[in-house]
Amino acid sequence: MNETPMRARAVVDLAALRANVRALRAAAPGAELMAVVKSDAYGHGAVPCARAAREAGASWLGTATPEEALALRAAGDTGRLLCWLWTPGGPWREAIEADVDVSLSAMWALREAVAAARECGRTARVQLKADTGLGRNGCPPADWPELVAAARAAEAEGTVTVTGLWSHFACADEPGHPSIAAQLKVFRTLLAQAEQAGLRPEVRHIANSPATLTLPESHFDLVRTGIAVYGISPSPEVGHPGDFGLRPVMTLVASLASVKRVPGGHGVSYGHRYITPGPTTLALVPVGYADGVPRHASGTGPVLVAGKWRTVAGTVAMDQFVVDLGGDAAAPGDEAVLFGPGDRGEPTAEDWARAVGSIAYEIVTRISARVPRVYVGRAEGTGN
């Protein structure tokens, strides 16, 4: 295909994404599924991934910021959509007018949502978020009764409808971690309090990908899956993607920009952190930290070139890095596969995470806008 970007591309397999959504729905048969598409769908492209997730039966989408949610509306998405990361002065009115469900973790947020609903003469759909132990966003249990009572009062005056009650796990990716059961217990208590105060939410939810895959009692009415939608396991402890019928969606490919013979003792890349051990062939992979390849991959990142795994030789630069092919042959234009599903012998995002001391979430999400996304496996009949 002539349009294929030559330097580098992130190939995003929407057929795999749809199959992942179906596998996750089967894993949580009693719950609805929210596909979390924050941060440009973990780097995969929010609009095409949202559309594919909807086609596979995601009745909800989730984003962090209201701007991300509004961008999905602007692209034509009309289904249920929750966003949860608000700051004072945020676009409450725009979100309410766009039928976005907004998450509230504190009284200031409820006040702003109510004021915006009054301004535009609409009823805001709000979901109250509890901090059951994550210690990040969410209303602390001590403040929950006040938030619940105020939300109930706002329902009575018609400015809000509480559509959901929810929370988020700290350690669901470490199955058996004692905080998991502790959070579930707090969550059930806070749900009961809210229900006693008269709230009748459509959805109660706490499960992220690892809880969806490993903890059925956490499924409630809705599961919020992010990383698993993209075919990646939340952690090695949870298992391999294939154990759950999941397949990685993104493949990061570059075309070799140079292949050359050099003598032994030749320094490679900034700081000469790699010296060729003997006469060899060096291949230049034209992606670097500006593309989201971690600089921490210097000397450690794996990449499939000329049929074998190679290791980044020396320092990852802004736009490029080098691999030592030893005695093997390659030509400019040949493919270098940084990561993918792994079934053509290439490394996976998990392999990169291990090599650089991070998590696969970060590996895919950090691939920058300079790398064109190329979509394959679009459904027939979507007009795209």
Ligand X SMILES: *Cc1c(COP(=O)(O)O)cnc(C)c1O
What is the binding site for ligand X (CB under 6 A)? Answer: 36, 38, 84, 168, 208-209, 224-228, 234
Burial of 224 (0-12, 13-18, 19+ CB in 10 A): buried
- Tell me the residue type at 313: A
Q: And the tokens for 293? A: 């390849």
Residue 228 CB, nearest approach to ligand X (Å): 6
Q: Which is nearer to ligand X, 228 or 268 (CB)?
A: 228
User: Annotated binding residue at 318?
Assistant: yes
Distance CA 323, CA 106 (A): 51
Residue 344: count of CB within 10 angstroms of its CB: 9
Give the three-class secondary structure for 349: helix
Q: Which is nearer to ligand X, 33 or 259 (CB)?
A: 33
Q: Which is nearer to ligand X, 164 or 234 (CB)?
A: 234
Residue 206 CB, nearest approach to ligand X (Å): 9
Q: And the tokens for 102? A: 């907004």
Residue 156: count of CB within 10 angstroms of its CB: 10
The angle that helices 107-120 and 144-156 make with each other, rounded to 10 degrees, is 10
Residue 232 CB, nearest approach to ligand X (Å): 9
92-99: long-range contacts (C-beta < 8 A, 24 or more apart)?
92/66, 92/116, 92/117, 92/124, 93/119, 93/120, 94/66, 94/70, 95/66, 95/69, 95/70, 96/120, 96/122, 96/124, 96/125, 97/122, 98/69, 98/70, 98/73, 99/73, 99/125
User: Annotated binding residue at 136?
Assistant: yes
Contact 274, 268 (CB under 8 A): yes
Give the three-class secondary structure for 163: strand
Tell me, yes or no, if 270 is annotated catalytic: yes
Q: Which is nearer to ligand X, 65 or 189 (CB)?
A: 65
Residue 183 CB, nearest approach to ligand X (Å): 13
Tell me, yes or no, if 38 is annotated catalytic: yes
For the chain, how far is it from start to end, CA to CA, in angstroms? 16
The closest residue (CB) to ligand X is 226
List for the chain the helix, strand, coil content (%; round to 5): 35, 25, 40
DSSP secondary structure, 172-218, as one string: TTSTT-HHHHHHHHHHHHHHHHHHHTT---SEEE-B-HHHHHH-GGG
Q: Which is nearer to ligand X, 83 or 151 (CB)?
A: 83
Q: Which is nearer to ligand X, 62 or 302 (CB)?
A: 62
Q: Residues at the annotated binding site?
A: 136, 318
Q: Residues at the annotated binding site for substrate?
A: 136, 318
Supply the residues annotated as catalytic.
38, 270
